[in-house]
C-alpha cells in the first residue's frame, strides 16, 4: 500500500489511456475540471506516486505536451482501448502496465495498490496475462494490469477487429480481484466512475454548463482553457 511519501511498484508502468474518439463530449474528457484540477492532472499525480514510469497513450499528443509525461501513439490501426494498451506495452521497459482511462475522476491509489499487490502475490504461483478488479458484479477492464505475455493475443484481436475488452479478458489468463476486497478500500466503487457523456457529467456534478453543446471544432477545447468545475465534488 502507498506510504506517506508514496511508493514505487517495481516491474509495472503506469498508463493513462487518452486516445479515444471523444465523440460524445464537447471537450477532451481528461481536461474536465473537478475540485479545481483536471481529471488527467489528478490521475497523473496519483500514478507518478506509485510507478517509476508513467505514460499517456494518445493520438493527439499536442494537447498533452504541457504535462511533461512521455506520450505514446497507436502503432496499429486505432481500435479503441485495446490498441492503446498494445502500444503502451510495446513501448514500456517493464513487463506489465497498469491502465486507467483519462475520464475517471475519482481513482484511488489504494485500489491501484491492491490490484498490483494481488497480481504480484498470485503470480508467484501461476502466470497471468492480466489482473482486473470486479465491481458491481462486472470486471473493470479500464482499471487494471496487462502484461507483455498478452501482446500476441492483443495483436490478434486488433487485426481481426475483435476488440471488446471483456471478451478479450475471458480468452486470456486473467486474474480477477474479488469485489469484496475492492469494497474494503473503495466501498462505493468511485475509482471506476467515468464520464462518457454530458449527461454523466451532469449526474456526477450537478453542473449543466455543457448542456446542449455538440462536439465539433468550434466548441472543442483543450486542457489549458478554463473549463470545468470550480466547486469541490465530494
Contact 182, 111 (CB under 8 A): yes
Q: Residues near 160 by Cβ (< 8 Å), separated by ≥ 6?
A: none
Convert the pLDDT of each residue in 196-226 to its tens digit.
Answer: 777 877 777 766 666 555 444 333 333 323 2
Q: Pick the range with the lowest mean pLDDT from 45-49, 74-78, 133-137.
A: 74-78
pTM, two decimals, is 0.84
Determine contact, residues 233/202, Cβ cutoff 8 Å: no
Q: What is the pLDDT of residues 1-25, one digit of tens each?
A: 443 345 578 999 999 999 766 666 6
The answer to whether residues 151 and 89 touch, using CB atoms and an 8 Å cutoff, is yes
Residue 212 has a pLDDT of 55
Do 83 and 77 contact (CB within 8 A), yes or no?
A: yes
pLDDT at 108 over 80: yes
For residues 232 and 12, the model is more confident at 12
Query: CA torsion sign, 133 to 28 to 44 to 149?
Result: positive
Domains within the chain, CATH numbers bracketed? 12-199 (3.90.550.10)
Amino acid at each position: 500500500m502507498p506510504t506517506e511519501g508514496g511508493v514505487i511498484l517495481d516491474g509495472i508502468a503506469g498508463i493513462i489511456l487518452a486516445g479515444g474518439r471523444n465523440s460524445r463530449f464537447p471537450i477532451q474528457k481528461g481536461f474536465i475540471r473537478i475540485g479545481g484540477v483536471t481529471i488527467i492532472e489528478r490521475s497523473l499525480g496519483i500514478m507518478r506516486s506509485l510507478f517509476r514510469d508513467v505514460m499517456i497513450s494518445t493520438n493527439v499528443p499536442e494537447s498533452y505536451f504541457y504535462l511533461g509525461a512521455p506520450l505514446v501513439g497507436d502503432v496499429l490501426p486505432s481500435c479503441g482501448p485495446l490498441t492503446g494498451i498494445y502500444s503502451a506495452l510495446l513501448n514500456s521497459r517493464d513487463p506489465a502496465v497498469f491502465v486507467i482511462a483519462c475520464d475517471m475522476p475519482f481513482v484511488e491509489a489504494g485500489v491501484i495498490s491492491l490490484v498490483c499487490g494481488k497480481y504480484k502475490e498470485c503470480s508467484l504461483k501461476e502466470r497471468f496475462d492480466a489482473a482486473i478488479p470486479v465491481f458491481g458484479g462486472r470486471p473493470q477492464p479500464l482499471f487494471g494490469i496487462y502484461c507483455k505475455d498478452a501482446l500476441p493475443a492483443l495483436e490478434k484481436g486488433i487485426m481481426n477487429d475483435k476488440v471488446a475488452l471483456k471478451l478479450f479478458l475471458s480468452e486470456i489468463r486473467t486474474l480477477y480481484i474479488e469485489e469484496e476486497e475492492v469494497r474494503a478500500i473503495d466501498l462505493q466503487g468511485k475509482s471506476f466512475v467515468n464520464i462518457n457523456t454530458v449527461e454523466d457529467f451532469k449526474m456526477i456534478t450537478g453542473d449543466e454548463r455543457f448542456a446542449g453543446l455538440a462536439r465539433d471544432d468550434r466548441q472543442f477545447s483543450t486542457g489549458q482553457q478554463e473549463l470545468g468545475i470550480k466547486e469541490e465534488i465530494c
